[in-house]
Structure 1
Amino acid sequence: MPAVIELNQISKKFGKFEALKDVSFTLNQGEVMGFIGPNGAGKSTTIRILLGMLKKTSGEATIFGEDVWHEDTKIHQRIAYVPGDVYLWPNLTGGEIIDLLLRLNNQERNQKTAELIDLFQLDPKKKARSYSKGNRQKVALIAALSQEADLYIFDEPTSGLDPLNEKTFQNEVMKLKAAGKSILLSSHILSEVEKMCDHITIIREGEIIESGDLASMRHLTFLQITVETKESLADLKDFTGVEKISINEDDRKAVLSVNNDQLNLVLAELTKKEIITITTAPPTLEDLFLQYYRKAGESDD
């Protein structure tokens, strides 16, 4: 598939501080990429470079094959963008702002706009000065999702939204995905990224530390097994493949973190102890994320 976004060894310095260090990733047409990392990791800086709001120090960045700094006006005609902190004109109503944002991109209010206003439960007649953070976010989301764009960039888009509206946003992204649109989603809500994204890029302290689809990265995490057996499980504490184990007082119930490569070996040992009940949980994006961000000597908490 043709590349929509290409970043090649992007760096960004603010004085002596290097905010981004050789950041590289590609978003292809029709894909949804999750861009995750904690506050200060470099997500918003990367997105601002893509939007032509910040000039990179070095490297190459293109959208639709065009340089993001020199051709930003041309690129913006095909992009819809929602930031994490939305600031609106206080004396305009929500509806007026939606219309203005659409007109700025040579588009008009349509049936989709009305549907989104209803889905997000926004009162478009209220002045923006009276809106909460969540309602300001809704205005930007409605304007962006109403547009016919080739690339949608969302930077912490559900910040301030309640769970019902988060679900509405997720449903709309899945519709865009089904329509073959390209989406870059920066989010701190790992379950949100896990549900919607084809690919995941993890950034830490300005550097990309992992990138790929979730299925290919699951091998880097441990499978959780909850088991009850007729015989004691105490000797599993030092068993090959068991990375962590929590055993109850009678030694016959335990929760194990098991290395996927050693799963068959561990299951064979558990079978010898006569399994009464057993459940397994696949590694989640949160497990992967925490593994990368856990520093030496830190506890799981």
Structure 2
Amino acid sequence: MSILTLENVSKHFGKVRAAHEVSIDIRAGEVFGFIGPNGAGKSTTIRMIIGALKETSGTIYFKGEDIRKNSHYIEQISYVPGDVNLWDNLTGMEVINFFMEMRGFKDQGMRDRLIKKFRLDPSKKCKTYSKGNRQKVALISALLSEADLLIFDEPTTGLDPLMERAFHEEILAARDAGKSVFLSSHILSEVEKLADRIAIIRDGEIIETGRLADLSHITRIEYIIGSDDDLAFLKDKPYVHDFTVEDGYTHLMVDNDKIAEFMAAVGSLRITHLVTEPPKLEDIFLRYYEDKS
């Protein structure tokens, strides 16, 4: 079942196309990664989803219903922006409790567990918090709800690696509990760890959508080879890239859809060492941008 669907959604500011004919579909109980560099159109798309911007064209559906015909859909969404602003004279606990009360969420045990897990001092006023601590307040508040869709825009900005891991654990727990997560980020390793499916946005347009495995056609696999034979002939193969020799081992990248040809080419060689590195989201992302630039 789809929880959020965008059909050819565009947002133009005069001649500037911040988002153009964006179509994505987020299913119930999945983490959907939304990746692209800063300025690619991620935040503009999110602002249209939450109703902060009106789309120039296209339609956004929440649980199959046009959001323009049901303003109450937003009550089923928790959203954390990349740059969090809080009320300076309230404490972290007062902010968290305010959002809990506003949503009718009463699980104080979960609240206390998250505060402890994220190592937040909730007694301090928000004006004294660092960017990372403000982010913690927002993340904890978002998780303390019955929302069916959690939207995070660059959520780990300002968090140290330990707190990033805590956030990742809570996202996966939310997914396992049946919630949907829309995770917008330019941190590719984060999306790779969490996302069931991804969409890549470039210059306001979606250029790829699918599971990581589905996008392997635009990536390359790294091979590290030791051999008693001369491997220099591989440099001339059109599917081989970044050929280097280091410490007696040959390093090269091979187009994923040409693996069979590559293996045939090296099949008769005296291979003494062979290591492969599987395709990573970062390789897919950078390769696609290179090919389209």
Q: Deviations over 1:67-98 (max 9, x none)?
A: 234423x1122111111111000000000001
Give the match for residue 47 of structure 1: 46
Distance 2:167 2:8 in 1: 32
The alpha carbon displacement at 1:276 in A equals: 1.2
Worse overlay, 160-169 or 108-117:
108-117
1:66 paired with 2:65, answer: yes
Give the match for residue 137 of structure 1: 135
Q: Would you say the 8 A contact 2:218–2:288 is kept in 1?
A: no
Distance 2:199 2:38 in 1: 15
The alpha carbon displacement at 1:109 in A equals: 5.0
1:80 paired with 2:59, answer: no
Give the match for residue 197 of structure 1: 195
Q: Deviations over 1:214-241 (max 9, x none)?
A: 1111232111000110011111111253
Question: Structure 1: where are the runs of 5+ without partners?
Answer: none
1:273 paired with 2:269, answer: yes
TM-score by structure 1 length? Answer: 0.93
Distance 1:62 1:296 in 2: 30
Q: Would you say the 8 A contact 1:99–1:109 is kept in 2?
A: no
The alpha carbon displacement at 1:177 in A equals: 1.2
Residue type matched to 1:3 in 2? S
Give the match for residue 123 of structure 1: 121
The alpha carbon displacement at 1:210 in A equals: 0.4
The alpha carbon displacement at 1:243 in A equals: 3.1
The alpha carbon displacement at 1:296 in A equals: 6.8
Give the match for residue 253 of structure 1: 249
Distance 1:296 1:188 in 2: 18
Give the match for residue 102 of structure 1: 100
The alpha carbon displacement at 1:195 in A equals: 1.2
Question: Structure 2: where are the runs of 5+ without partners?
Answer: none
SS in structure 2 opposite 1:245? strand
Q: Would you say the 8 A contact 1:49–1:68 is kept in 2?
A: no
Distance 1:68 1:50 in 2: 8
Q: Could you tell me which of 247, 260, 263 is aligned with 1:264?
A: 260
Q: Would you say the 8 A contact 1:233–1:247 is kept in 2?
A: no
1:161 paired with 2:159, answer: yes
Distance 1:93 1:294 in 2: 47
Residue type matched to 1:200 in 2? I
Distance 1:264 1:15 in 2: 49
Residue type matched to 2:274 in 1? I
Give the match for residue 93 of structure 1: 91
Q: In the superposition, relative to structure 1, how do residues 253 and 84 fare at CA in structure 2: closer, same or farther (>3 Å)? A: same
Q: Could you tell me which of 206, 221, 228 is aligned with 1:208?
A: 206
Residue type matched to 1:256 in 2? L
